[in-house]
Every structure is written in C-alpha cells, then in structure tokens.
Amino acid sequence: MAPALKLLVQRVALGLMLLFLVSALIFVGTQILPGDVAQSILGQSATPEALANLRQELGLNEPALTRYFDWLFNALQGDFGTALTNGQDIAHSVGNRLKNTLFLAFWAAVIAVPLAIFLGLLAVRFRDRWPDKLISTVTLASISIPEFLIGYLIMYFVAVKLRWFPSVAMINDGMSLGEKLSSIAMPVMVLTLVVLAHMMRMTRAAILNVMQSAYIETAELKGLNRFQVIYRHAFPNSIAPIVNVVMLNLAYLVVGVVVVEVVFVYPGMGQYLVDHVSKRDVPVVQACGLIFAAVYIGLNMVADVVSILTNPRLRHPK
C-alpha cells in the first residue's frame, strides 16, 4: 500500500498548492480588471463626489498585498466578507447558490452518468452496427448544438407548446422535492444532452481499447457471452479513463452551466458570479472563483485517486 499512499499524499498536497496559486491568480486577476468597483456600482450615474465617497467606504485605497492576505486568512475560516454592492453576507448568499447549483448538477449527473456509461457499453456491444451509429450520431449532434439553442428548443416545445414543465426553473425553500424536480426538469434535460456525448464516447473508446487485449480473447474463448466479457473484464480495466472524463463533466456541471442558468433563470452560482463580475464586486468574484477552483481541483483529485486505486500494480506492489 505504501507507494499508493505516498502517491495519494502527493496528489492532495499538490492540489492544495494549486489552490493556493489559484487564489493568488484570482486576486491579481480581479485587480487588473478595467474600471473599479465604485465606478461599476454607480454605473452611468457616477459623479466624482459619489465615486470618492464610495471608494473611501469600500476600503479601495488600501495596498493590494494587505488586502490579499486579509482576504485569504478570512476565507480559510469560511468568512468571505460582505458583498460590496448590496452588503449581504457572501458566505450565506454563496451557500444558497451553491446548494442550488449542486442540486441541479446532482440530478443531471444521476441521469447523465449511468446513461452515458450504459450507452457506451451498448455501443461497444453493437460496435459498427446500427445501434452504435445511432447512439454516436445523436449524442454528437446534441453536443454540437450550442446549449442555449437546445435550451430554447426544449423550452419552446415542452414549456410553451406542451406546457408539461415550467419554462422558468425557479426553486425556493418552500417547495417540495417533487415540485423542485418538476421545476428543474428542463435544465436537467439540456445538461444531460450536453454532457452525454463526451462521457459516452470516452467509455466506448476506453473499452474498445481494452477489447484488443489478449485476456479478452481468452475470456471469449472460455465461452462468456459478449456483454459479460465487456462488463466483467473490459469495464473494470478501463475505469481510470472513464472516471477521468466523468469527473471533468461533473466539474463542468458545477462551474460551467451559466448559460443554462440564464436561459432557465435558475438561481445558481454561475448567474451569481456573472452579475457580480459586471458590477466589479471583487469579494464575491474572488469567493466564487475560489469555490470553483476548489471544486475543479477537488474533482480532478478524486479522479486521480480513483485511477491510482484501480491500478492493481499500485495497490499490490511487489
């Protein structure tokens, strides 16, 4: 177990270091945006006096390095400060938004991941025959269409014409789980269509790769049927690349769905971040950036860990 453990510790340490570097980058990035917070809050209605008053109040006159370490230290304790624009507690607002984002990502993943892997297995089983071609064509088409267009199409047919689900995916705490699920049905559909192809193609390719090996031939020769061969022998050996692509897509579901959020008016992190970027609300942008980075790095770390653990050579060293 020793080499695996060592690798794991290395991975985690690397992840943390990466996160620290990212925090510095986020801070620098937000500093070099054109215009400043005061200007953006007041917009076209900014007079020089109002600007000066607001800058003073927001502490924008402190040196950058002081502000960075203050921020990092507080962020580590879970205190992201208050939003400059509306004075609300960031940890609280972000917490709500993050909960919504994770809710949507969770249900999209619950449907998309098993479906993608199942379709991948199916495609391998019927390789180069019509089911394989149909699956590939449909998923590739859905990934090629921009997601907002899929969103509008689904909205037009499902919400406006058929009136099956609401076009506005608004959820709040007063709703039951059933109501919430009905509310997010359309964004979940869109997200599923968007992430399906990538995971399904990767599953198919990874398994096909393994299928060339000698031990698959042996399995076939000892009389197992084709699906059993794939399921028992090929799939476990191609888990590493599949987990990798699954994690990438999960990360996308958490950090990259701003377009879908806007189209369906879903109160998630992406929309929250974009609103505050356009107002130069630096503390919020930094908090969101840090959370996104943590999610991305965290999920990739999980992918690495899983690949290490599924590698027998690392689990059972000589």
- CA–CA dist 242, 41 (Å, integer): 45
Residue 31 interacts with other proteins (CB under 8 A): yes or no: no
Interface residue with other proteins among 89, 275, 312, 315 (CB under 8 A) is 275
CA 39 to chain centre: 32
CB of 74 to other proteins, least distance (A): 20
User: Is the CB of 120 or the CB of 270 nearer to other proteins?
Assistant: 270
Is 65 near other proteins (CB under 8 A)? no
Residue 15 CB, nearest approach to other proteins (Å): 29
Position 68 contacts other proteins (CB under 8 A) = no
| Under rule CB under 8 A, residue 281 binds other proteins | yes
What would the DSSP string read from start to end of 142-179? Answer: HHHS-HHHHHHHHIIIIIIIS--S-SS----TTS-HHH
- Output 126 or 152, the one with its CB closest to other proteins: 152
Quote the least distance from Cβ 3 to other proteins, whole Å. 47
Q: Are 242 and 206 in contact (CB under 8 A)?
A: yes
Asked if 53 touches other proteins (CB under 8 A), the answer is yes
Indicate whether 128 belongs to the interface with other proteins (CB under 8 A).
no
Q: Would you state the structure tokens that stand for residue 178, as one six-digit string?
A: 């059933």
Please tell me the distance from the alpha carbon of residue 215 to that of residue 220, in angstroms, as a whole number. Answer: 9
Pick the stretch among 5-13, 23-31, 44-52, 129-137 that binds other proteins (CB under 8 A). 44-52
The answer to the question of residue 166 lying near other proteins (CB under 8 A) is: yes
**Sequence-separated (6 or more) residues with CB below 8 Å from residue 288:** 94, 269, 272, 273, 276
Binding segment toward other proteins, per CB under 8 A, in 70-78, 114-122, 132-140, 269-277: 269-277
Residue 270 lies near other proteins (rule: CB under 8 A): no
CA atoms within 13 A on the CB side of 230: 20
Nearest alpha-carbon partner for 268 in 278, 277, 279, 257: 257
One of 2, 76, 163, 212 touching other proteins (CB under 8 A): 163
H helices present in the chain, as ranges: 2-31, 37-42, 48-58, 64-76, 90-125, 130-144, 147-154, 177-183, 185-211, 214-221, 226-228, 235-237, 239-255, 258-264, 269-278, 282-310, 312-315
Stretch that binds other proteins, among 27-35, 69-77, 104-112, 248-256 (CB under 8 A): 27-35
Residue 99 exposed, middle or buried by CB count within 10 Å (0-12, 13-18, 19+): middle
Query: What Å distances lie between residue 91 and 65, 81, 94, 98, CA to CA?
Result: 22, 7, 5, 10
Sketch the per residue contact string, 93 through 112, with other proteins: x for CB under 8 A, - otherwise.
Answer: x-------------------
Contact with other proteins (CB under 8 A) among 279, 282, 304, 308: 279
Is residue 88 within the footprint of other proteins (CB under 8 A)?
yes
Q: For the chain, how many residues are written?
A: 318
- 87 near other proteins, judged by CB under 8 A: yes
Q: How far is the CB of 22 from other proteins (least distance, A)?
A: 22
Residue 311 and residue 300: Cα distance in Å, rounded?
17
Out of 278, 312, 315, 317, name the contact with other proteins by CB under 8 A: 278
Query: By CB under 8 A, is residue 1 in contact with other proteins?
Result: no
What is the binding site for other proteins (CB under 8 A)?
33-36, 39-45, 47-50, 53-54, 57, 83, 85-88, 93, 152, 155-156, 159-160, 163, 166-168, 170, 172, 262-265, 267, 271-272, 275-276, 278-279, 281, 284
